[in-house]
């Protein structure tokens, strides 16, 4: 074999389609409503901002590499043992650390048809093989996932609720999935939107993690806590998994401002409740208004909605996106998620929600 003339990435890397974040601007439009990344319209708790400004006095010092203050605050809020919690630079980092820690070339990682795109990226980056499983009615299908398991399977990523569909698996289905998996396969329950879910048959995964050796739950401060810019995520996992990830992660992966902001945010229960209440009200209002306009909306339990445009009649998602962007409403195209004719809308402030429906009405009449 001849020596390559320049450094080459390892196999898999060039198969990755780089993640494209939601757009934040619309050219030539003065007032832009960013409804493309499921961020909180309420912003962070004022207590988190205060904690950040105090921490600014100590920027010369390395942060606490075990993020003890943040782990303690999370443990207290959820009634968990802090030893089973590990924090990260956004929960995306954890999705990657899990792949780096448990996947090698030749292994397979499973996720579903309309699942979060970061799973594929992390499986490929670890040199392993992505296995995509069909969904049923835009929802993960436990039987299909179990049927895709082979002796090479090492990880199953499940967003619950899923982004961009907003659908969820009830706890008995998640339990059935765990029960059907070989014991050496990690089930990752990505519960980024858990706080928004208002369903009696939903559970983020805490009980399942506590009761088994192969289930982990990841969470984020980017959505309900309005702290996406701070990059804070955490995992609740069995001790043997925490121990393994701790060896692979960067020693100071969570910065000092993030530790302070997160600890203050999760203690501000009133602020979290306002975010939940705002979402409950406007998610149902938006669902109702969009249906009234004749658009099919996937029933969502998150802080966003997947809006489907008619397949015939010249009112495509692409045209809607252009029309709405020109009026300052920036939504998310979801072609890369297998929905070429849909847009994902994040629940926004009242003014944004009302304005969006008015603009969409105008679009459909145009």
Ligand X SMILES: *Cc1c(COP(=O)(O)O)cnc(C)c1O
Residues that bind ligand X (CB under 6 A): 38, 90-92, 116, 159, 163, 190, 192, 220, 222-223, 228, 233
CB 86 within 8 A of CB 242: yes
Compare residues 87 and 208 and give the one whose CB is closer to ligand X.
Answer: 87
CB of 155 to ligand X, least distance (A): 15
Closest distance of CB 316 from ligand X, Å: 25
Are 80 and 237 within 8 A, CB to CB? no
Question: Under a CB-based contact definition with an 8 Å cutoff, are residues 131 and 108 in contact?
Answer: yes
Measure Cα distances from 45 to 30, 51, 262, 263, 269 in Å. 27, 10, 10, 11, 9
**DSSP-assigned beta bridge partners for residue 339:** 334
H helices, E strands: number in the chain: 12, 13
Tokens of 114: 């309309």
Q: How far is the CB of 363 from ligand X (least distance, A)?
A: 26
**Cβ 71 to ligand X shortest distance, Å:** 16
Nearer to ligand X, 36 or 38 (CB): 38
Q: How far apart are CA 126 and CA 96, in angstroms?
A: 8
- Min CB(163)–ligand X separation in Å: 3
Other beta carbons within 10 angstroms of residue 228's beta carbon come to 17
Rank residues 19 and 62 by Cβ distance to ligand X and give the closer one: 19
Q: At what angle do helices 91-102 and 118-125 cross, to 10 degrees?
A: 40
Question: Which CB sits closer to ligand X, 163 or 287?
Answer: 163
Q: Are 324 and 295 in contact (CB under 8 A)?
A: no
Instruction: Report the Cα–Cα distance between both ends of the chain, in Å, rounded.
Output: 62
Shortest gap between Cβ of 366 and ligand X (angstroms)? 32
CB nearer to ligand X: pick between 187 and 359: 187
Q: How far is the CB of 311 from ligand X (least distance, A)?
A: 26
> Which residue in the shown chain puts its C-beta closest to ligand X?
90
Which lies closer to ligand X via its Cβ, residue 33 or residue 337?
337
Whether residue 164 has a cis bond before it, omega within 30° of 0:
yes
Closer Cβ to ligand X, 233 or 348, answer by number? 233
């Amino acid at each position: 074999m001849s020596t390559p003339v320049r450094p080459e990435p390892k196999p898999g890397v060039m198969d990755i389609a780089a993640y494209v974040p939601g757009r934040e601007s619309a050219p030539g439009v003065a007032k832009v409503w960013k409804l493309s990344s499921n961020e909180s319209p309420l912003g962070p708790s004022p207590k988190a901002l205060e904690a950040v400004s105090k921490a600014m006095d100590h920027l010369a010092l390395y942060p606490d590499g075990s993020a003890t203050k943040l782990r303690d605050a999370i443990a207290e809020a959820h009634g968990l043992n802090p030893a089973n919690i590990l924090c990260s630079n956004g929960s995306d980092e954890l999705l990657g650390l899990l792949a780096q820690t448990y996947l090698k070339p030749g292994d397979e990682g499973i996720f579903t048809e309309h699942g979060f795109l970061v799973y594929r990226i992390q499986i490929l980056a670890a040199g392993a093989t992505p296995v995509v499983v069909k969904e049923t009615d835009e929802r993960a299908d436990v039987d299909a996932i179990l049927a895709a398991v082979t002796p090479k399977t090492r990880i199953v990523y499940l967003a619950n609720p899923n982004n961009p569909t907003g659908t969820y698996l009830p706890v008995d289905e998640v339990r059935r999935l765990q029960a059907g998996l070989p014991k050496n396969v990690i089930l990752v329950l990505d519960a980024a939107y858990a706080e928004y879910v208002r369903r009696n048959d939903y559970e983020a995964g805490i009980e399942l993690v506590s009761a088994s050796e192969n289930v982990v739950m990841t969470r984020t401060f980017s959505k309900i806590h309005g702290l996406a810019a701070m990059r804070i995520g955490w995992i609740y996992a069995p001790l043997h998994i925490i121990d393994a990830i701790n060896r692979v992660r960067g020693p100071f992966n969570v910065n000092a401002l993030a530790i302070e902001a997160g600890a203050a945010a999760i203690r501000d229960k009133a602020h979290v409740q306002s975010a939940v209440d705002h979402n409950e009200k406007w998610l149902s209002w938006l669902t109702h208004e969009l249906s009234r306009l004749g658009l099919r909306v996937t029933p969502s339990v998150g802080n966003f909605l997947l809006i489907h445009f008619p397949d015939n009649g010249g009112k495509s998602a692409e045209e809607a996106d252009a029309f709405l962007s020109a009026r300052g409403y920036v939504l998310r195209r979801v072609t890369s998620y297998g929905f070429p004719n849909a847009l994902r809308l994040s629940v926004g402030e009242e003014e944004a929600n009302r304005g969006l429906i008015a603009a969409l009405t105008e679009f459909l009449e145009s």
